[in-house]
Amino acid sequence: MADKRCRICGGILREVLDLGRQPVSNAFVRLEDAPKVPFFRLAIGRCDSCAMVQQLETVPPNEMYRADYPYRASGSLMIRRHFEGVAREIVETRPGGEGGFVVEIGSNDGVMLKTLAAAGVRHLGVDPAASADDVAREHGVNVRTDFFNAETAADVYAEYGHANLIFSANTFSHISYLDSIFRGIDTLLAADGLFVFEDRSLADILRHNYFDQIYDEHIYFFSVVSVKAMAAHFGFELVDVEHLPLHGGSIRYTVARKGVREPSAAVAEFVAQEEADGLLGSDVFVRFAADIDRVKADLVSLLRDLQADGRRVVGYGATSRSATVLNYCGIGPDLLPMVCDSTAEKQGCVTPGSMIPVCPTADFSNPYPDYALLFAWNHAEEIMAKEQSFQDAGGKWIVYVPKVHIA
């Protein structure tokens, strides 16, 4: 078989982890449509040349992001607060001054841009998910329902002129054709403009065994080392990095045109830390694979033991990540009869591949189960506080990362 090539630089990809056959992670469909959900091989490799860790297969975007794509960023208070903070900072610093123009790639339901809209900042969100865009428009956000790429960027430039800031959060890792994106950014970004993007951090995924961050939509697993190389490859420069607590550990990358800004000391510090963490070696992935197998064995045996004891267990949070856990561990409705989730679009559907019914969170207390398996572990604090009466009633939370434990 021909070598797989890096999507960024064309270097050779070496496989570092294989999680087997997996369904499209956001394919929450009615039970009768479940057999139509597409499957693919979920495996990642690292580029020999630029160190970018990435999927070995490519799922066609139209399989993953249908018009009814159910993800809503505003579903979490923590996420909402984070993006309101990002937006407030933009409103205060006004990139480009009074007439400055801000573009968000992957604006989802407008969670960030609505604050800019309310403050009268010239802006545009670009997002292919039509139903999320409608929600954003209801909040007064200016949206173009489209994939961002070199062509749409040229269109946006023709209509609005240069962007002083291009922002994107948790979207960049979802896009395979980053060359086209960077060409688009090159067309659209003002000479002194900044491109800022946030995404999950590979170092945190490896450190905390967050293997469920690996699913179809996450094509890239960024590190500072690989983003620095990627920015340079496309003629830009990584000028700043900042760690964020979101999604179990994320990094905000600030990219500028080459030579426009002196890179901050943080860039070199993060690179040194990643090298010290062994991110460029292979041992770290061997250990990762062993830790993942331990979670699988422990979780399945815990669920079986609880079932044998007559305990009722349900899932909490029908996350995209849960697809990897459920399918990798082979957990179905026999071991976990339902997963509760606050997203209306997922309720009444079944989880992809594992076919577990998704129910409204109101069903969680009706009656409370003995145990709840928390898939939305990144929202643990918020959810446990919201469901305090579950614990008061003697209920217990099962968390599976970094290893299976009762929280």
Our finding on whether 354 is near ligand TYD (CB under 6 A) is no
Residue 14 or 174 with smaller CB distance to ligand TYD: 174
Our finding on whether 317 is near ligand TYD (CB under 6 A) is yes
Which residues make beta-bridge pairs with 122? 101
Stretch that binds ligand TYD, among 39-47, 61-69, 97-105, 375-383 (CB under 6 A): 375-383
Instruction: Work out the burial of residue 177: count CB atoms within 10 Å of its CB; fewer than 13 is exposed, 13-18 middle, 19 or more buried.
Output: middle
DSSP class of 213: G
Our finding on whether 171 is near ligand TYD (CB under 6 A) is no
Element (H, E) at 364: none
Q: Report phi then psi at 20, rounded to 5.
A: 80, -165
Our finding on whether 319 is near ligand TYD (CB under 6 A) is yes
Stretch that binds ligand TYD, among 100-108, 196-204, 277-285, 313-321 (CB under 6 A): 313-321
Per CB under 6 A, which of residues 218..247 are in contact with ligand TYD? Answer: none
Contact 375, 319 (CB under 8 A): yes
108 binds, among Zn ion, ligand TYD, none (CB under 5 to 8 A by kind): none
Stretch that binds ligand TYD, among 147-155, 261-269, 283-291, 381-389 (CB under 6 A): 381-389
Give the separation between CA 217 and CA 40, rounded to whole angstroms.
12
Our finding on whether 75 is near ligand TYD (CB under 6 A) is yes
Sign of the CA dihedral with 374 first, then 377, 380, and 386 last? negative
Q: How far is the CB of 260 from Zn ion (least distance, A)?
A: 24
Report residue 24 as tokens.
């499209």
Sign of the CA dihedral with 238 first, then 243, 244, and 246 last? positive
Our finding on whether 227 is near Zn ion (CB under 5 A) is no
Report residue 84 as tokens.
């309101």
Residue 103 or 376 with smaller CB distance to ligand TYD: 376
Our finding on whether 341 is near ligand TYD (CB under 6 A) is yes
Stretch that binds Zn ion, among 45-53, 153-161, 292-300, 391-399 (CB under 5 A): 45-53
Q: How far is CA 251 from the centre of its chain?
A: 12
Give the separation between CA 352 and CA 25, rounded to whole angstroms.
6
Give residues in contact with Zn ion (CB under 5 A): 6, 8-9, 11, 47, 49-50, 52
Give residues in contact with ligand TYD (CB under 6 A): 71, 75-76, 317-321, 341-343, 361, 376, 378-379, 382-383, 386
